Amino acid sequence: MRAVRALTGGFGFSADQPWLPGLPHVAAALATYFVFGGQACVTGLLLATLASFVVYLPLTALALNGGQAIAADRPAPVLTTRAQVVLLGLWTLTAWAGAALAG
């Protein structure tokens, strides 16, 4: 859970973190509304949210920290551009796959 809190920086915007990991997966999931409809869109959003905060962000934090757990006294690893692109791809794939299965 510390990895998710470290990478998301809370629930608001902060000056030291210009990219909020929670918003792109919502945009990727909302794009499915125009193809699959409302119920499938919500299903895709829920699956992308669950996968993001249970699997994708913690594994990204581990990868950026050299496979080690984030220590309480050390700063969180910074999301690189490559990590952001990979996460956006995973979120988009998860949202569309969830919406396609539900639709």
14 bridge partner residues: 17
Q: With 0.75 as the threshold, say if the pTM is over it.
A: no
62-66 contacts, C-beta under 8 A, 24 or more apart: 62/3
SS3 call for 41: helix
- Residue 102 predicted with pLDDT over 50: yes
Contact in structure between 53 and 4 (CB atoms under 8 Å): yes
Question: What ranges do the domains of the chain cover?
Answer: 2-9+20-102
Tens digit of each residue's pLDDT (9 = 90 or more) over 4-60: 555 555 444 455 554 555 577 788 888 899 999 999 999 999 998 888 888 888 888
* Torsion angles phi and psi, residue 79, rounded to 5: -70, 120
